[in-house]
């Protein structure tokens, strides 16, 4: 281990120790700290407020100024609360999380897995998507979360530790195709956050999302069809503060039998429904339409 690796390891251990210590605080106190952070973020720093307002206004052109303003404020409040919940998940027990997360229709995944198919579970940045790390605790099947490695080795290692706490396995986006197509063991579930902005535009994968022409990654669908997988959508909604419901919705039982773009279109439709159900819950700070 060279000097750089030693320093990175020390930094990682230090950050994790601080995060773990803070996570031991009562949830009510963490939410209170979050409220202060919300005030600073929204009123003082105005973190990406112009981006958020622009995104929401263009997505809901029929809404009046007061309605847009209410969504923006509630988004920031929820966004900060999500961080408090993520911090708490560093040390919270499985028993506590089991009472806060309701999984609906998990039998659908069992059905596909038992038929010998891998399952691609696509979702959007809705609600507190990080709570899906607990999904591995609820199922007997292997679950892989596809992710893009962070530039910071310290933060990347920390992210992997937090997300894998309950058995979730992380797989880099650049290796997932080889992993799925060459995997000879039992079928597994692969989580794809598929609502990000692709660097490469493909006209076949341009759809209308929230009244705007939007490009989507083609990799998720192409992998599903090539790998002959089943595809589901994970619909995340907030039941109350800190409590969420994750519903498994079928997209395709046999991806290879679908037409080009069909799976992505269904994903876009389901994502749109998810966002419209809780417009404050999506990640509006993301510059989704920058290209």
CB 44 within 8 A of CB 21: no
* CB-based contacts of 291, cutoff 8 Å, min separation 6: 197, 201, 215
So where are the chain's domains?
Answer: 3-277
Choose among 208, 196, 217: nearest CA to 285. 196
Tokens read off for 284: 């509006």
CA dihedral 36, 38, 44, 47 (to 10 degrees): 150
Task: Give the pLDDT score at 291.
Answer: 62
pLDDT tens digit string along 5-61?
A: 788 888 999 999 999 999 999 999 999 999 999 999 999 999 999 999 999 999 999
- Mean pLDDT value of segment 273-285: 97
Q: For residue 191, name the pLDDT band (cuts at 50, 70, 90).
A: very high
- Model's pTM, two decimal places? 0.94
Query: What's the pLDDT tens digit per position in 193-224?
Result: 999 888 878 889 999 999 999 999 999 999 99
- What Å distances lie between residue 86 and 70, 77, 167, CA to CA? 24, 15, 16
DSSP 8-state class, residue 43: I
Q: Identify the band that residue 267 occupies on the pLDDT scale cut at 50, 70 and 90.
A: very high
pLDDT at 4: 80
pLDDT of residue 6: 83
Enumerate the H helices of 183-230 as residue ranges.
219-226
In the prediction, which pLDDT does 253 show?
96
Q: What tokens does 192 get?
A: 């794809």
Using a CB cutoff of 8 Å and minimum separation of 24, what contacts does 8-11 make? Answer: 8/153, 8/154, 8/157, 11/154
pLDDT above 70 (res 183): no
Q: What is the mean pLDDT of the chain?
A: 94
Please name the helix (run of DSSP H) or strand (run of DSSP E) that holds residue 276, with its range, or none: helix 262-277
Which of helix, strand or coil describes residue 207?
strand
pLDDT digits (tens, 9 = 90+) for 90-120: 999 999 999 999 999 999 999 999 999 999 9
What pLDDT score does 201 carry?
82
In this predicted structure, the answer to whether residue 288 has a pLDDT above a threshold of 90 is no
- pLDDT, position 181: 84
pLDDT at position 186: 84
d(CA 134, CA 290) in angstroms, rounded, equals 32
Residue 179, pLDDT > 90, answer: no
Q: CB of 234 within 8 A of CB of 193? A: no
């Amino acid at each position: 281990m060279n000097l750089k690796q030693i320093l990175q390891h020390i930094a990682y251990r230090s950050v994790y120790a601080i995060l773990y210590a803070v996570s031991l605080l009562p949830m009510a106190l963490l939410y209170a700290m979050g409220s202060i952070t919300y005030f600073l973020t929204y009123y003082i720093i105005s973190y990406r407020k112009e981006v958020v307002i622009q995104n929401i206004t263009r997505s809901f052109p029929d809404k009046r100024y007061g309605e847009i303003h209410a969504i923006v404020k509630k988004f920031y409040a929820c966004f900060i609360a999500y961080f408090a919940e993520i911090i708490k998940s560093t040390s919270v027990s499985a028993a506590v999380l089991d009472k806060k997360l309701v999984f609906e229709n998990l039998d659908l995944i069992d059905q596909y897995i038992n038929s010998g198919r891998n399952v691609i579970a696509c979702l959007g940045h809705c609600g507190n998507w990080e709570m899906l790390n607990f999904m591995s605790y609820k199922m007997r099947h292997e679950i892989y979360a596809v992710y893009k490695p962070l530039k910071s080795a310290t933060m990347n290692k920390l992210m992997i530790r937090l997300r894998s706490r309950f058995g979730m396995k992380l797989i880099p986006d650049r290796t997932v195709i080889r992993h799925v197509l060459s995997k000879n063991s039992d079928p597994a579930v692969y989580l794809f956050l598929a609502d990000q902005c692709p660097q490469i535009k493909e006209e076949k994968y341009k759809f209308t999302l929230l009244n705007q022409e939007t490009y989507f990654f083609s990799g998720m669908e192409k992998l599903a069809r090539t790998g002959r997988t089943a595809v589901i959508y994970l619909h995340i909604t907030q039941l109350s503060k800190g409590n969420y419901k994750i519903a498994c919705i079928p997209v395709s039982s046999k991806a290879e039998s679908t037409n080009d773009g069909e799976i992505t279109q269904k994903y876009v439709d389901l994502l749109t429904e998810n966002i419209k159900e809780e417009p404050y819950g999506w990640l509006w700070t993301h510059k989704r339409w920058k290209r």
